[in-house]
Chain A
Amino acid sequence: MTDLLSKAATAADIARAVSSGKLKASAVIEAALKRIEAAEPTVNAFTDVVADRARRRAIQIDAGQHRGPLSGVPFAVKNLFDIQGLPTRAGSKINIDGPIAKRDGALVRRLESAGAILVGALNMGEYAYDFTGENIHYGPSRNPHDLTRMSGGSSGGSGAAVAAGEVPLSLGSDTNGSIRVPASLCGLFGLKPTYGRLSRAGSFPFVDAFDHLGPLARSTEDLAMSFDAMQGWDPDDPVCSDRMTDPTLPTLVEGIAGLRIAVAGDYFAKGGEPECFAAVASVAKALNATKTVVLPQAAAARAAAYVITAMEGAQLHLERLKTRPQDFDPDTRERFMAGALLPGIWYVKAQRFRRLYRTQVMKLFEEVDIVLAPATPCAAPKLGQTMMTLQGVELPVRANLGIYTQPISFIGLPVVAVPTRTAGAMPIGVQVIAKPWNESAALRVAAYLEKQGVCVSTPA
């Protein structure tokens, strides 16, 4: 029996206990605040802790208000989500001088409407242009499984806070891999939903064409519960779909029966360290997935995602680059500057190619329901490491941790990153990829792997 006030308690454990009256939300919040206080000097996942607000909300929940499927669950959000009364840092120093948020971001409101309790804002790579979790202004969020290593980014604090057991649930954003990379490096379950599924209203953007928001947790059930609470049309985000919500939690018990599962070959079977392919193999074996499929032109997809990201991101930040270049993190500044100088014809070609690639991949999904691929090409690099060797080739860490995630978010496919870990080694994740709007299939696979003991997430 899990101690419900310990770091091992999941969101579902807590919600069940609070809903049934066995546990007070106030006690849950006090325990979470204590864990945060104890862990933060080393983990550095949080930039803001909203203790008073969380305590007030917990008292209201204990009085019977705001009850829902996530009653009493403490959660924290990447600091690009608006939190009423705070500046939305988005990992930057510049934004502290910007507007104070007048209301919470849409997904914060939806989780709190379901009974969850916000406890703070989480560290991230500046303006989300990052796969490392490092940040010159606020320090790096550190990997709780080895504090000398990267958490992954850009949702680094979102990974570190959950892996350290400070909170059972966090929200991150994923433009090119920023949920899936920290989930992989920190040994967590992470959901990047279909593009347009969850509202992005009240969050600081990066690349409109690819920006997604989603949860990180230590169990599939927690992902499904929070995802279900956050679904639904929002007129404040023009990309947010008006399709009906698809509750996923009830489907987790269905297992993998009827799902056609294949492993991504070619591009996704090279360019990484042996550990990432071993992780895919272990998951594939547990799922009895013997078929290999090829996502055609994945290298071009990665290139196109890179170009669109560099150019949209640079355009978004151009005025800040002109007027306050000294206030940027040096690790993002010159990348943004270079992005501002790329030829427009690259952008248009990338968008034209995106349509072709989408058509080709959709055809693939006529034959399979799930595709497995590595989440990252290696386990967590050392903090401060700028170059890494992948299969004998020296490459920059910052641009290459996302080589396997970029071709997937490029066309908005839903993905659950699932954790694997062998004894004595750092965790590494696998992408469970489904066709658009079929988050349920990816979550069912993740739940099955969890039940089989193949993918398990334990706090450090």
Chain B
Amino acid sequence: MADIASWMDEEAKAIGLPIAEEYRANVIVNLERSLAIVQPLLAVELDEELTPLPVYRP
């Protein structure tokens, strides 16, 4: 995850999202911010039996 620019380019290619040159720097800034903000979530350890919300009800 260290190379944010490569992350951006590869993932954008995979989902077919063109990112113009003039948007690149700010997308990278936002990815860096996301990476910082998500840390407390990534640090949480969850029990394996914990299922997600929402629960699908057919």
Which B residues lie within 8 Å of A303 (CB)? 37-42
Which B residues lie within 8 Å of A81 (CB)? none
Interface majority SS (helix, strand, loop, mixed), chain B: helix
CB atoms of A351 and B41 under 8 A apart: no
Q: Is A408 an interface residue (CB 8 A)?
A: no
Q: Is A121 an interface residue (CB 8 A)?
A: no
Give bound CA distance, A352 to B47, whole Å.
Answer: 10
Give bound CA distance, A352 to B43, whole Å.
Answer: 14
Which B residues lie within 8 Å of A322 (CB)? 16-18
Beyond known contacts A341-B27, A352-B52, A353-B44: 16 more, CB 8 A cutoff: A297-B44, A299-B40, A300-B40, A300-B43, A300-B44, A303-B40, A303-B41, A304-B41, A307-B34, A318-B17, A322-B18, A325-B23, A334-B27, A337-B30, A346-B38, A352-B51
Of the A-B pairs whose beta carbons lie under 8 Å apart in the complex, a sample of 7, sorted by A's number, is: A303-B37, A335-B30, A337-B17, A338-B31, A351-B53, A352-B46, A355-B51
Interface majority SS (helix, strand, loop, mixed), chain A: helix
Q: Is A358 an interface residue (CB 8 A)?
A: yes
Give bound CA distance, A351 to B55, whole Å.
Answer: 10
Give bound CA distance, A300 to B39, whole Å.
Answer: 8
CB atoms of B37 and A341 under 8 A apart: no
Interfacial residues of chain B within 20-35, with CB under 8 A of chain A in the complex: 20, 23, 26-27, 29-31, 33-34
Give the residue name and chain of the A residue nearest to B38 (CB): A303
Q: Is A286 an interface residue (CB 8 A)?
A: no
Q: Select one of B23, B34, B39 contacting A342, CB under 8 A.
A: B34
Give bound CA distance, A337 to B8, whole Å.
Answer: 9
Q: Is A209 an interface residue (CB 8 A)?
A: yes
